[in-house]
């Protein structure tokens, strides 16, 4: 798994202009590529291969788009097409890759990282070296060191109006999985709406409800936007304000997911979570917004990423009935969502609803981690 490091850039006025021109121009090129893919398909019934696409657009960067970035555009389109075919094969409802409008296009990819390559964070000058067409040397604030081997980078223009560089690194060999010479320290985590997460030890992580808190301001900004005439300068300004509010929420959410995830992988050798099909839940539930807001899947993703570099194992278990079963005796104790306490009539076990679920989740993962190979190259859960 790759890890990205994001640093803020401080381009001067001239460099800013170059970056924005490249952004606009590369978007135009991408759309042109898509156009030619479609035209080629209409003619021949076949899709252009990545190689042909790269060949056709060789040297088309003009004065603003570096050559290697043109190649990455072909890669990007090729990936989008492959994803489309793959999903269609799986029988999912998918749309064909679309032409990109300015508000769906925010980044410039620089292909190879390294001294004398497309992009390089120069340790001597502390500047980010990029192609001349993008301004040469950009001022960067490297607030923490890179880890692993840097591979590639993106320059991203975010809704707050600032530029960032995202350096994608290969973390290298994962550390040895902690061996289970002694009893493994394991924890199960249940994610919920009332409380963001509850673990099998009974610890809780509060739900930030970032969106709900920001909802009022967001609604107001959205109303302002809808009142203004599309295409006008004032409409653009209002759209920017809405995007900025969304950015803030997503940052808050991400930050909130990192902290507990770090705590769990540092403390435990095994972490069990529910394998939640969030997409399905969001679709058919009036709690949809609260569910996506809580950012469950983001939390689990971050957990997996951190676990990998910490030598901790994450197991995803089937989520069925984890809140209905008694974690002590296995009896089914039916309860609706509003019942917050598990109270078992057959064995007398009483616990918080989510705590009981977390214990069930842990128990479900137990056979897998007990049977896992404990050697240095321990097998990982097939679900991961």
Tell which one of 29, 270, 326, 372 touches Zn ion (CB under 5 A): 326
Q: Verify whether residue 42 is a known catalytic residue.
A: no
Cα(126)–Cα(221) distance, rounded to whole angstroms?
39
180 binds Zn ion (CB under 5 A): no
349 binds Zn ion (CB under 5 A): yes
- Which CB, 329 or 383, lies closer to Zn ion? 329
Tell which one of 331, 350, 375, 383 touches Zn ion (CB under 5 A): 331
325 binds Zn ion (CB under 5 A): no
Judged on CB neighbours under 10 Å (0-12, 13-18, 19+), 72 is buried
Give the 3-state secondary structure of residue 296. helix
To Zn ion, the closest distance from the beta carbon of 140 in angstroms equals 58
Where does this chain touch Zn ion (CB under 5 A) — which range of 62-70, 78-86, 217-225, 342-350?
342-350
329 binds Zn ion (CB under 5 A): yes
282 binds Zn ion (CB under 5 A): no
Query: Per-residue b/e over 309-332, b at no fewer than 16 CB within 10 Å?
Result: bbebbbbbbebeebbbbbbbeeee
Where does this chain touch Zn ion (CB under 5 A) — which range of 3-11, 148-156, 330-338, 353-361?
330-338
Cα(16)–Cα(22) distance, rounded to whole angstroms?
10
User: Which residue, 139, 131, 165, is CA-closest to 18?
Assistant: 131
332 binds Zn ion (CB under 5 A): no
Q: Verify whether residue 190 is a known catalytic residue.
A: yes
Whether the Cβ atoms of residue 267 and residue 240 lie closer than 8 Å to each other? no
Phi-psi region of 86 (alpha: psi -120 to 50; beta: other; left: phi over 0): alpha
Cα(341)–Cα(343) distance, rounded to whole angstroms?
6
The catalytic residue among 190, 199, 293, 308 is 190
Cα(174)–Cα(331) distance, rounded to whole angstroms?
40
Where does this chain touch Zn ion (CB under 5 A) — which range of 66-74, 76-84, 248-256, 337-345?
337-345
Q: Verify whether residue 170 is a known catalytic residue.
A: no
To Zn ion, the closest distance from the beta carbon of 355 in angstroms equals 14
The catalytic residue among 118, 274, 293, 308 is 274
Tell which one of 272, 304, 344, 362 touches Zn ion (CB under 5 A): 344
328 binds Zn ion (CB under 5 A): yes
To Zn ion, the closest distance from the beta carbon of 299 in angstroms equals 29
Tell which one of 337, 347, 350, 383 touches Zn ion (CB under 5 A): 347
383 binds Zn ion (CB under 5 A): no
350 binds Zn ion (CB under 5 A): no
Residue 126: count other Cβ atoms within 10 Å of its Cβ.
12
Which residues, other chains included, contact 258 with Cβ-Cβ below 8 Å and sequence gap of 6+? 302
Cα(180)–Cα(270) distance, rounded to whole angstroms?
10
Where does this chain touch Zn ion (CB under 5 A) — which range of 100-108, 152-160, 325-333, 363-371?
325-333
Q: What are phi and psi of 128, to 5 degrees?
A: -95, 120
By CB under 5 A, name the binding residues for Zn ion: 326, 328-329, 331, 344, 347, 349
Catalytic residues: 190, 274, 354
């Amino acid at each position: 798994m790759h890890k990205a490091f994001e640093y803020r850039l401080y381009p001067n006025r001239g460099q800013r202009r170059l970056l924005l021109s490249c952004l606009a121009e590369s978007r135009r090129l991408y759309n042109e590529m898509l156009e030619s893919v479609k035209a080629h398909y209409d003619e021949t019934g076949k899709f252009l291969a990545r190689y042909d696409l790269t060949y056709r657009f060789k040297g088309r960067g003009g004065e603003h788009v570096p050559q290697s970035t043109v190649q990455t555009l072909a890669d990007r389109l090729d990936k989008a097409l492959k994803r489309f075919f793959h999903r269609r094969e799986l029988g999912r409802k998918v749309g064909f890759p679309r032409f990109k409008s300015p508000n769906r296009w925010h980044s410039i990819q620089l292909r190879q990282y390294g001294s004398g390559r497309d992009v390089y964070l120069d340790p001597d000058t502390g500047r980010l070296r990029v192609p001349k067409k993008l301004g040469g040397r950009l001022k960067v604030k490297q607030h923490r060191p890179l880890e692993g081997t840097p591979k590639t980078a993106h320059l991203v223009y975010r809704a707050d109006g600032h530029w960032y560089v995202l350096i994608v690194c290969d973390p290298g060999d994962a550390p040895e999985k902690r061996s289970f010479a002694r009893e493994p320290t394991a924890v199960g985590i249940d994610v919920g709406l009332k409380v963001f997460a509850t673990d099998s030890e009974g610890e809780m992580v509060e739900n930030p409800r970032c969106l709900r808190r920001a909802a009022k301001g967001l609604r107001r900004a959205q109303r302002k936007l809808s009142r203004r005439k599309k295409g006008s300068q004032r409409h653009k300004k209002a759209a920017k304000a809405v995007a900025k509010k969304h950015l803030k929420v997503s940052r808050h959410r991400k930050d909130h997911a990192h902290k507990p995830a770090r705590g769990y992988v540092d403390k435990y050798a095994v972490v069990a979570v529910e394998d939640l099909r969030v997409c399905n839940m969001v679709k058919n539930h009036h709690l949809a917004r609260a569910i996506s807001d809580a950012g469950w899947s983001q939390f689990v993703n971050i957990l997996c990423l951190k676990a990998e570099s910490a030598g901790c194992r994450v197991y995803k278990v089937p989520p069925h009935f984890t809140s209905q079963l008694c974690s002590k005796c296995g009896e089914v104790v039916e309860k609706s969502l509003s019942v917050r306490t598990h109270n078992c009539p057959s064995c007398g076990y009483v616990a918080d609803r989510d705590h009981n679920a977390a214990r069930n989740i842990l128990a479900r993962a137990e056979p897998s981690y007990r049977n896992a190979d404990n050697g240095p190259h321990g097998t990982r859960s097939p679900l991961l």
